[in-house]
Amino acid sequence: MELIGRRTDWRSVLEARRQKGESIGVVPTMGALHDGHLSLVAAAVGRCDFVTMTIFVNPLQFGEASDLEAYPRDLERDLEVAEAAGVHAVFAPSVEEMYPAGKPSTVVAPGPLAARLEGTSRPSHFEGVATVVTKLFGLAGASSAFFGEKDFQQLAIVRQLVADLDLPVEIVGCPIVREADGLAMSSRNRRLSSSEREAATALFRSLVAGRQAVESGCSAGEAEQTMHALLQGAPRIEPDYAVAADPINLERLDPEAKPAGTLRLLVAAGVGPVRLIDNLAACPPVTGAGRQIP
């Protein structure tokens, strides 16, 4: 496996592979790899001839300097894990390599999708994400890129970005990988104490309770209240949002209305020193001809 630090080198390596007729799979990450990241690699290995992972903790998408500093980094272990998973080349540039002049004067504004949910608590977060993803795609060229549904809003924004800017990249969304007790895998979980780690399961439990509410025919607002109640009653949890949203544009559904089709439940909460997010699909009961709802 090749380790690449320079933008020009990464571009040349991928261009040479394309010249040989190989398809390119890109897996963008911030490192501190876990099985969630490796599921993206597995999807890329299954679909593409040449798989490249990027490992870059992007300062532009962090609000507070303390959060950026505390973000876990472990490049040596990441390289071993990536190689064992079948990655052919890792692009791990320094901050100076990616942003030689500091914050770039051209940034990518991702529009209304970025203003809701995570955007409310982290105002410039998605601008930072959209800017670095655009740079990575500019360097990678024609390829498929693999993103996790764990960051559901990010995935929606990246899909929109690629469509709006005609970037030659196919976006592949991959399901969330969870621990045995339901907690969505995240590099940030490493920063939880054992009691916080136990408390963190409240996010998934609230989503499951919300899904049950939707499945039993509750309104979107009732499902949200169910999730809120569970988060509020959980120890060590500072709820941020618990929302029933349209799965494409992530607009909050009318709380009074019974949802008509599959929707997405999304939650965010503080747990000790970290902020965690999670989400789950939920389907309302099918009504009408051929189905009896008890």
Tell me 251's DSSP state.
Answer: P
Contact by Cβ (8 Å): 168, 142: yes
Shortest CB 285 distance to ligand AMP, Å? 28
Strand partners for 241: 268
Shortest CB 266 distance to ligand AMP, Å? 13
Is 37 annotated in the active site?
Answer: yes
**Closer to ligand AMP at the Cβ: 186 or 226?**
186
Shortest CB 55 distance to ligand AMP, Å? 8
What whole-number distance in Å separates Cα of residue 91 and Cα of residue 50? 13
**Closer to ligand AMP at the Cβ: 8 or 66?**
66
**Closer to ligand AMP at the Cβ: 131 or 186?**
186
Q: Catalog residues that contact ligand AMP under the rule CB under 6 A.
A: 29-30, 36-37, 39-40, 147-148, 150-151, 174, 176-177, 184-187
Nearest residue to 154 (alpha-carbon basis) of 190, 117, 99:
117
Of all residues in the shown chain, the one whose CB is closest to ligand AMP is: 148
- Which long-range contacts (C-beta less than 8 Å, at least 24 apart) are formed by 252-260? 252/116, 252/220, 253/220, 254/220, 255/219, 255/220, 255/221, 255/224, 256/219, 256/220, 256/221, 257/219, 257/220, 258/217, 258/218, 258/219, 258/220, 258/284, 259/214, 259/219, 259/220, 259/284, 260/284
**Closer to ligand AMP at the Cβ: 88 or 150?**
150
Shortest CB 231 distance to ligand AMP, Å? 19
Residues designated as active site: 37
